[in-house]
Amino acid sequence: ETGVTQTPRHLVMGMTNKKSLKCEQHLGHNAMYWYKQSAKKPLELMFVYNFKEQTENNSVPSRFSPECPNSSHLFLHLHTLQPEDSALYLCASSQDLSYEQYFGPGTRLTVT
Amino acid sequence: GENVEQHPSTLSVQEGDSAVIKCTYSDSASNYFPWYKQELGKRPQLIIDIRSNVGEKKDQRIAVTLNKTAKHFSLHITETQPEDSAVYFCVTGTASKLTFGTGTRLQVTL
């Protein structure tokens, strides 16, 4: 285990649902990340938070909404998703931006 | 913005042979270059990293070389073993941004 946990591990949701993914790290890190991993694009960086401030948003659609209430927790709020949003969503944390990232186990999301 | 190109996208080598994966980047401000390995069904893990003040770094069978002038860096794996089979990602980083390569699927055959 890396010290980064994600819940739920699996999620099936309809296109009209609203759900949230949760990530928690117990490593004392200051930076947290959301990634999308699918067959089409092996690893896409979505959002970056450093010291609770969002520092990067890689042109992610607004149906994905991140939230970082403190440096240990990161959420990804989902609403009106599309089937093509089905993927593995990985969370990671690092001491700072240019340091080793520790990944969580991911949430396998299926949008029906 | 930064553009990172990673080649090849797939690589098959025989056990015991060497494997080389190359990445080129465009942002001259990049100063951190880690490599991540992701085995099938597992999460990515850092295997080696290098910073811009160093040209080469080695850790047992794995080495990374960096040419800042030409803006490219490479991962070298010697004496490959079946457990080296995985997807490898190169990354470039600055103080405020990370950019991932598109990944290389390495298959080590017996």
Closest-CA distance of chain A to residue B66, Å: 16
Are A42 and B98 inside 8 Å of each other by CB? no
| Beta pairing partners, A6 | A23
Q: Looking at residue B106, what is its pLDDT?
A: 98
pLDDT at B2 over 90: no
Is the CB of A59 inside 8 Å of chain B's CB atoms? no
With cut-offs at 50, 70 and 90, classify the pLDDT of residue A35: very high
Residue of A43, A58, A88 to mutate when probing chain B, most B C-beta within 10 A: A43
Determine which helix (DSSP H) or strand (DSSP E) holds A100, and give its type and residue range: none
Gap between the Cα atoms of B89 and A20, Å rounded: 28
Q: Which residues contact A8 (CB under 8 A, 6 or more apart)?
A: A21, A107
Is the CB of A30 inside 8 Å of chain B's CB atoms? no
Contact status, residue B66 vs residue B33, Cβ threshold 8 Å: yes
- Give the pLDDT mean for B83-93: 96
**Angstrom distances, CA of residue A13 to CA of A5, A6, A40, B4:** 21, 17, 21, 34
Burial of A2 (C-beta count, 10 Å sphere; 0-12/13-18/19+): middle
pLDDT at B1 over 80: no
Are B103 and A42 inside 8 Å of each other by CB? yes
Condensed to tens digits (0 to 9), the pLDDT of residues B23-82 reads 999 999 999 999 999 999 999 999 999 998 889 999 999 999 999 999 999 999 999 999
Gap between the Cα atoms of B80 and B18, Å rounded: 6
Closest-CA distance of chain B to residue A104, Å: 7
The rounded mean pLDDT for chain A is 93
Nearest to B103 among A43, A92, A103 (CB): A43
pLDDT at A2 over 80: no
pLDDT at A81 over 90: yes
Q: Which residues contact A40 (CB under 8 A, 6 or more apart)?
A: none
Q: Looking at residue B94, what is its pLDDT?
A: 84
Helix (H, G, I), strand (E, B) or coil at A85: helix
Q: Looking at residue B67, what is its pLDDT?
A: 95
* Residues in chain A closer than 8 A to B103 (CB atoms): 42-43
Q: Looking at residue B60, what is its pLDDT?
A: 96
Are B94 and A56 inside 8 Å of each other by CB? no
- Give the pLDDT mean for A4-25: 96
Question: Phi first, then psi: what are they for A83, rounded to 5°?
Answer: -55, -35
Q: Looking at residue B53, what is its pLDDT?
A: 84
Condensed to tens digits (0 to 9), the pLDDT of residues A38-66 reads 988 888 999 999 888 888 777 899 999 99
Alpha-carbon Rg for chain A, nearest whole angstrom, is: 13
Q: Looking at residue B3, what is its pLDDT?
A: 85
Buried b / exposed e across B64-97, counting CB within 10 Å, b at 16+? Answer: bbbeeeebbbbbbbeebeeebbbbbbbbbbbeeb
Closest-CA distance of chain A to residue B79, Å: 25
Q: Looking at residue A110, what is its pLDDT?
A: 97
Gap between the Cα atoms of B110 and B97, Å rounded: 39
